[in-house]
Structure 1
């Protein structure tokens, strides 16, 4: 006779012991607990959490009164300003899906996204009203437009109402509801589209909640952290930090443009404790004029994107900024892998510490699985720090899928894993290290050359500000490394000098055969656009 176990006791989930996960609970709790604590700083504007929560509820209420329903898309084309932050809560409070659009896109791309995502309403920052106007002309269908007004930025009004006029019609006590299902979409983010039309990546409430909490754990974010918005809120929903900052009752310090002078000024004036940015932002700060640097309190930065050169990490930490290196993709809610620091590494030489920090790391608390494997067999590669494979992830912080693109979704989900398209190695201690995008590996004379490895050596040269390496076609070798380099102001170096420097610091066959000087093309999030450089290299023949 079988003995009953715990699952035979009739213990079921119900309203008293189960609720769908959503980051909307974060702002509700913070507004009730810390209503008078500062929430938003934007120039002279100051708002506390009570005021901010009321504005978000007004937004949700106003959208609902306009007929926005569960699953409808609301698009926002705006900089890192309070209205963009509020939309991360007000839009899902209406049951809708937030589509924060890349502000650097051209009108045709914006029109494509509005149509593909079937946006019912567009909120526009005056800084981008011309792009929005041109996109609307291409749209081919009517859409309601709401204008954010800023006296400092004169621009024509595109809609019948302003953002503040819309909020005035909303209820500050709006009884918003939690999602019917935590699997409901909370946001829609578009990839860069460098190889065709951008793909719409769908996030759900559960993933947004868990990755926001994962950020807090990875960074050990304290209550009332003061967060500077250098990372665009349109990029993976600001890596889920609008929700994370709300969870810790932090301060959102807004910033329209990422430039060294205002960043250092806000460091000092607003006592910034945390900020995020691509390695290119760290490089900008490290090479800023000495007269604008200087702050007297600890600051932490989370960086991700292209693997940061160890020299850049060392330079930023020498200024007093502690670097946490993370890794992820739009498809994984931004940072889902973190280079978790170990106390025993503290006594290592500076160069060793920077090298360790430049690795991508281990799963954050929200990611279920991480491996480096053969893309054909899904067999993990040896954890020897040398055997290269593709990086795979799985768990709650992997996207629902690509909107209206089942083929691309099926291709990226293989054997119960998400295929990143990135190549890397697994070290013996379980930390992964990114080596390249699969399309960026250079195959020269049958040998694989990591462009990241060559770039890391170039960054060590004292005259080099930025470097990117791609493949150049070669009749003899198939491909050879071609380096595109931007020099530091006032510094000089010729192609022969840089090639010789690389040959002195790595295997000779890996050194670039070509060096081209000039400004490097970048995306709005500071990533170097290698696809443009590859085109230039192909044109060289």
Structure 2
């Protein structure tokens, strides 16, 4: 028998089977059961339909990790809308592009970020503006709570197909404008099944939201945690001391943490005596992307007592496609586990990973030959929104029918990959993707900059940080006519804060090819000369 895979079924299951179980611990102190979460989501579905939202309409959510995001997301899904989460670190200019590109009809924005939307209100197609605290927001905004309380939850759930788009997640625009990654009910559902299995998610889990919900729907945890009827503990930002307190007080058993979050926890733990790292539950933590240093894994596991899982993927791939959680390859007290856990890992169930050369041929599984990571799996995106050419290239560059990640890796005899470099002109700092081209464009707007090349530089805190090599317009690197701090501040004003330049080096000239193309590889090779690989470790 064939039954459609729909993301609405995650909340349906939880409220049917666990109506009185605690579903959400809100940042404001309230606690909601799954029956209450379901009722508030129903009410928001009714609100959206009363405001003219129909099946297929895009509804944006700009919110930190609060209960409102969960209610808005499921309210959108149930009404047949397309959930379009926004990165709250972006600028109003970024939102202008995304809201227009997606043709967003309505937006819910947290009070702390609504001013960025108010600033561009007349430049976007959006007609409905909802926030969670109208008294803190300028302009004509409706109150989420007032609308929900006035509704009775009577909405019409349209007939939906598993192959229809249910969410559009925008990338960071690392090779141009941001791209809308289209994910269907089917891709999201299967991805949630996969992380439930590989991250051992169950109904007695207490999940701490240190990972942004906008990041590929929180790596799918909006769905997996809800569907398993586990508990969501929401956050409005990251504070290391608060995380340890919450882990203890709420008996947190599971969280995801970007490398920067892990570093914050390590620093706090090292600077404070008698830090309690666990409550009544054992803790496991998933981290993604660049390889965590062995010292990080050792401290997290041996001193915190947590179990670490290293995973890997991209927004386009679900996101997660590999895991280092291969228990048959190591013992918990064996130093050999570090060699496994530093790897991005082996393919998830139902997922095929290859490392291929420029001709699309698989490289030997000897952990020496480097190729591009390509993937096939049911959790991989459907397409880029309104970008057919980019979609075709992403699935057919070196080998037809496989998604091309742009990451260069080796593979060992067990099929575990280890990322070595990137094909894309990309910086990953603290878990955020940054386009070096975008930063260069901002630098070129400064009159004292004659030429610029931006690359990732090693950073103990962020894994990678943004460094700019600048040829002054006057040609004199000794007296460039602008200071390093002035250029840093200039990019801070022009870009989202996490994209700003952190280091500047003034140079007489940039290395170029015979045709005048800047050889960033030479700059990166020089910058990473003392490192094991050409990418940062978290």
TM-score by length of 2: 0.78
The answer as to 2:3 corresponding to 1:19 is: yes
Query: Which SS does the other structure have where 1:468 is aligned?
Result: strand
The answer as to 2:356 corresponding to 1:373 is: yes
Q: How does 1:51-90 map to 2 (within 5 A)?
A: 51-90=36-75
The answer as to 2:140 corresponding to 1:159 is: yes
CA-CA distance at 1:405 after TM superposition: 1.0
CA-CA distance at 1:427 after TM superposition: 0.5
1:439/1:243 CA distance change after superposition, 3 Å: closer
* Residue in structure 2 matching 1:234, options 200, 211, 214: 214
1:144–1:159 Cα contact (<8 Å) kept: no
Q: How does 1:187-266 map to 2 (within 5 A)?
A: 187-266=167-246
CA-CA distance at 1:118 after TM superposition: 0.3
Q: Which residue of 2 aligns with 1:346?
A: 331
Q: After superposition, what is the alpha-carbon deviation per residue over 1:223-244, rounded to whole angstroms, capped at 9, x for unaligned?
A: 1310011000011010110110
Q: Which residue of 2 aligns with 1:409?
A: 391
- Paired with 1:68 and 1:61, the residues of 2 have a C-alpha distance of 10
- Paired with 2:468 and 2:12, the residues of 1 have a C-alpha distance of 54
Gaps of at least 5 residues in structure 2 are: 428-454, 471-487, 511-538
Q: Which residue of 2 aligns with 1:429?
A: 414
1:128/1:380 CA distance change after superposition, 3 Å: same
Q: Which residue of 1 aligns with 2:310?
A: 325
* Residue in structure 2 matching 1:398, options 380, 391, 394: 380
Gaps of at least 5 residues in structure 1 are: 1-16, 443-450, 475-517
- Paired with 2:421 and 2:208, the residues of 1 have a C-alpha distance of 29
CA-CA distance at 1:222 after TM superposition: 2.1
The answer as to 2:229 corresponding to 1:271 is: no
Q: After superposition, what is the alpha-carbon deviation per residue over 1:282-325, rounded to whole angstroms, capped at 9, x for unaligned?
A: 11111113247313441111111233222222222121121111
- Paired with 1:255 and 1:345, the residues of 2 have a C-alpha distance of 34
* Residue in structure 1 matching 2:404, options 419, 422, 435: 419
Query: Which SS does the other structure have where 2:352 is aligned?
Result: strand
Equivalenced residues, count: 453
The answer as to 2:316 corresponding to 1:334 is: no
Query: Which SS does the other structure have where 2:190 is aligned?
Result: helix
Please provide the CA RMSD for this pair.
3.0
Q: Which residue of 1 aligns with 2:476?
A: none
CA-CA distance at 1:40 after TM superposition: 0.6
CA-CA distance at 1:470 after TM superposition: 8.5
The answer as to 2:335 corresponding to 1:355 is: no
- Paired with 1:391 and 1:217, the residues of 2 have a C-alpha distance of 23
* Residue in structure 2 matching 1:170, options 141, 147, 151: 151
TM-score by length of 1: 0.78
- Paired with 2:137 and 2:209, the residues of 1 have a C-alpha distance of 27
Query: Which SS does the other structure have where 1:192 is aligned?
Result: coil
Q: Which residue of 1 aligns with 2:298?
A: 314
1:143/1:38 CA distance change after superposition, 3 Å: same
CA-CA distance at 1:433 after TM superposition: 1.1
Q: After superposition, what is the alpha-carbon deviation per residue over 1:214-270, rounded to whole angstroms, capped at 9, x for unaligned?
A: 111001112131001100001101011011011111111000011201111111111
Q: Which residue of 2 aligns with 1:497?
A: none
- Paired with 1:306 and 1:345, the residues of 2 have a C-alpha distance of 21
1:215/1:439 CA distance change after superposition, 3 Å: same
Query: Which SS does the other structure have where 1:127 is aligned?
Result: coil
- Paired with 1:95 and 1:31, the residues of 2 have a C-alpha distance of 19
Moved more, 252-261 or 353-362: 353-362
The answer as to 2:263 corresponding to 1:283 is: yes
CA-CA distance at 1:200 after TM superposition: 0.8
Q: Which residue of 2 aligns with 1:382?
A: 364
- Paired with 2:360 and 2:347, the residues of 1 have a C-alpha distance of 18
2:175–2:425 Cα contact (<8 Å) kept: no
1:473/1:391 CA distance change after superposition, 3 Å: same
1:205/1:315 CA distance change after superposition, 3 Å: same
CA-CA distance at 1:538 after TM superposition: 7.2
- Paired with 2:209 and 2:232, the residues of 1 have a C-alpha distance of 7
- Paired with 1:178 and 1:252, the residues of 2 have a C-alpha distance of 28
2:49–2:155 Cα contact (<8 Å) kept: no
Q: Which residue of 2 aligns with 1:32?
A: 16
- Paired with 2:225 and 2:266, the residues of 1 have a C-alpha distance of 26
2:408–2:421 Cα contact (<8 Å) kept: yes
- Paired with 1:204 and 1:127, the residues of 2 have a C-alpha distance of 30
Q: After superposition, what is the alpha-carbon deviation per residue over 1:447-506, rounded to whole angstroms, capped at 9, x for unaligned?
A: xxxx99x95xxx8xxxx54553899989xxxxxxxxxxxxxxxxxxxxxxxxxxxxxxxx
CA-CA distance at 1:178 after TM superposition: 5.0
1:327–1:360 Cα contact (<8 Å) kept: yes
CA-CA distance at 1:165 after TM superposition: 2.3
- Paired with 2:181 and 2:142, the residues of 1 have a C-alpha distance of 30
Q: How does 1:97-176 map to 2 (within 5 A)?
A: 97-139=82-124, 141=125, 143-149=127-133, 155-172=136-153, 174-176=155-157
- Paired with 1:269 and 1:322, the residues of 2 have a C-alpha distance of 19
1:72/1:465 CA distance change after superposition, 3 Å: closer
2:244–2:276 Cα contact (<8 Å) kept: yes
Q: After superposition, what is the alpha-carbon deviation per residue over 1:309-349, rounded to whole angstroms, capped at 9, x for unaligned?
A: 22222222121121111100010122121113224511664
